[in-house]
Chains A and B, each alone.
Chain A
């Protein structure tokens, strides 16, 4: 819950702007929005598509929650997703004969491990060498796309005769034991959906019910105060980035093992595999107020926007890029309106304290944090 003011107002303004854009482009906004909403939420198949679309968003979003709570900025989600997908696919292809109950957890863990490594690198670089994580995560995305293309077009490519025979970057057909089982017949709703939700709940518990989570949030609020209190600041930062990467890696593995195509496929770009979940997950986490539980709701909403965007395009001829532009507007409005609301509240409750100057303004709606020195610099 970011705010009952900012989110609906932002949505409302964005919807209006979107309607204006559609009108300018010669499309009927009512037709467009009806197509978007029914495409996303109308019926069991649409709902299941939305839920599946939401899974990578949710997991990346949860990973972002961890990183941002530690006040590190992870924009390497795209690369971490790809690495998770590759690690999971490689594991499944190496051990095709294991039974499902063993293989599925194994490939998901492998995916999380692949992402964790790709997240740990910027974590270690930041903690040990003071290399800014924005720089290293951006650069590691660029490395990941080429590693993915190298592996999928070379060592891991499907050369079997009844395939495209190495024409496109894709793995062999994954062993059926490794695929996430479909939960509702006639839809694509697979095991990945409940897994993602459970992981989100676990991360919530981790962040707010364990001492490690307390450590992460405390380091996020003030590194100096945490160090003063005897916490291992560097190790916490590395751990937060690693965990964040693991969440993205898990998202990659679920993308692979829950795919309609039963392979890891790309068109040669990161987006072709991830669908930009590494970026959109940041937006989703923000919408969830950096709280893993609310991120579940927010991921479902944005998943619906993406699924509905295709329907909007078919119904009105307006490219689904409109949805991308609108979600950008929503993000900008939410963070802007949030300030107006905070200021209004600060005026109404005469509680003007130093909180505004405290560093991690990412922390919007914390359950009370009892460490002293939040604003201590």
Chain B
């Protein structure tokens, strides 16, 4: 019986497959979405891509490549929300490729967007920098922006952006030291590089500015995404008498859970984390990329495709400390923190 079934199958299947292929080819004659694929002529498009400064180009095509999900409550979401907030005002056509954590694949995606006539390609992650460095000269009519980093590689069509996350870290570290009774803080990161390290170092510097002897030893778990390990790191801090916690990485949600169950204050960064622990989040350092993006887009519209580095600071409003209204912060602490924010903003307080 099986034999007959098999033979029939082996006859029918190719036929069905052929039919399917034919059907899908037929389907392709209906207009496919413009952004669906690099066209066959893509390689040649490098030089013939529509000039972004052409007066007819009323819509600006912007592509975003990001390492995590668009709704990660952190790094990627901060950029997506900023882009969307500018969409109608600047008449943007936005394409997003999220979860591009494989660097080589991301490089390919970046190249595809560049060759498809996108005016601005935003590579939102410092791991994409070396890709931009190599690709930008091949696509002189496309503007690239990348971050967080402070280098445009001296290329005329590359913008760079960075966040002085140590500033918010400093403020929140000082706040944590003021709130802490045990004078032990729990600080958790993924691996000791990049934005996470900048924030963590700022946090400990801020804490030590309030209380020089405070214990602020960062633990790097060795993984960006191991939720349980981050939770365990938070637990070991709590065991070691830590009574205020912070951390930076997408897996930090595990540690926020520990803050919630131990009822300890938590300080967030990159995006608002209030929804993760409504009672425990004291404040979050918010990245607001919109002003930076506005400047970049204005430059592009004006015909300048790169060459500038933008930095989010407390002073220029790119970084904001957002307080959780549900966390009752003592008035004297709040006052001290406000003074600190003001001082860092106007430059009277210099960070180490």
Contacts and interface: CB of A to CB of B under 8 A. Distances in A.
**Chains A and B touch each other in the complex, with CB atoms below 8 Å apart:** yes
Interface of A: 4-5, 8-9, 11-12, 15, 30-31, 33-35, 37-39, 42-46, 49, 52-53, 145-146, 149, 153, 162-170, 173, 186-188, 255, 259-263, 265-269, 271-276, 306-307, 310-311, 313-315, 319-321, 340-341, 343-344, 347-348
B103 A267 contact: yes
Contacts of B149: 164, 167
B95 interface: yes
Given A5-B6, A343-B2, 8 more contacts: A46-B38, A53-B108, A164-B194, A166-B193, A167-B126, A259-B104, A259-B107, A320-B99
Given A38-B28, A268-B193, A348-B3, A164 B129 contact: yes
Interface string B2-42: 11011001100110110010011001100011011111111
A166 B198 CA distance: 11
Interface of B: 2-3, 5-6, 9-10, 13-14, 16-17, 20, 23-24, 27-28, 32-33, 35-44, 46, 67, 95, 97, 99, 101-105, 107-109, 111-112, 115, 125-127, 129-131, 133-135, 148-151, 153-154, 190-195, 197, 222-225
B37 A261 contact: no
A347 B32 contact: no
A347 B345 CA distance: 82
Contact of A268 (B2, B32, B223): B223
A11 B20 CA distance: 12
A260 B37 contact: no
Contacts, number: 201
B102 A272 contact: yes
A33 B109 CA distance: 18
Given A31-B27, A35-B37, A153-B192, A9 B13 contact: yes
Contact of B191 (A35, A43, A268): A268
A34 B102 contact: no
Main SS class of interface, B: helix
7 contacts: A45-B115, A170-B127, A272-B103, A311-B37, A315-B32, A343-B2, A344-B3
Contacts of A186: 43-44, 46
A35 B33 CA distance: 9
A262 B134 contact: yes
Contacts of A320: 99
A340 B2 contact: yes
Contacts of A173: 130, 133
Contacts of B43: 44-45, 186-187
Nearest to A321: B99
A5 B28 contact: no
B77 to A, nearest CB: 16
A4 B16 CA distance: 14
A308 to B, nearest CB: 8
B108 A49 contact: yes
A222 B157 CA distance: 62
Contact of B99 (A43, A45, A166, A319): A319
Contact of B36 (A168, A274, A315): A315
Nearest to A19: B20
Contacts of B108: 49, 52-53, 188, 260, 307, 310
